[in-house]
Amino acid sequence: MAGLSASQLSFLRKRLTELKAVAVAALRRSQGELKGEDAELLADLHRTGDWAVAEAEFERDVAGAENARRAIGDILEAEKRFASGTYGECAACGTAIAFERLSAQPTASRCVPCQQTAEWRAPGR
């Protein structure tokens, strides 16, 4: 897939899975529905990696349930691209998206120039 190595892909796949767990927990928490299993899942993530930091960043970004829902949608779309073998390819021009960009934003679906073009065409979105 798009010039990424197997280890880079498995790293990004894992990150997406963890982001989804955090996003789902954030959504439930925002709705006052955080269940025991979600709390345990988060505790596991904290034990196994640097997810305390990721979660803090995520919660700072997620102002409310709507944002959490959108984030989950983005993550599910990225997982679909994984399943179809197009993950890491720019949706607009087909170029391989740099690993550094995907590492910072695993749900990125466009390369930097195309993302900038899209934002220029649709300001504020």
How many whole angstroms separate alpha carbon 93 and alpha carbon 108? 13
CB of 73 to Zn ion, least distance (A): 21
DSSP per residue, 78-108: HHHHHHHT-TTB-TTT-PBPPHHHHHH-TT-
CB of 78 to Zn ion, least distance (A): 16
CB of 81 to Zn ion, least distance (A): 14
Closer to Zn ion at the Cβ: 54 or 91? 91
User: Which amino acid is present at 43?
Assistant: A
CB of 20 to Zn ion, least distance (A): 25
Q: Does 43 bind Zn ion (CB under 5 A)?
A: no
Q: Does 111 bind Zn ion (CB under 5 A)?
A: yes
Contacts of 51 (CB under 8 A, 6+ apart): 18, 22, 42, 45
x/- binding map, residues 56-95, to Zn ion, per CB under 5 A? ----------------------------------x-xx-x
Angle between helices 51-61 and 6-30 (to 10 degrees): 50
- Contacts with Zn ion, residue ranges (CB under 5 A): 90, 92-93, 95, 111, 114
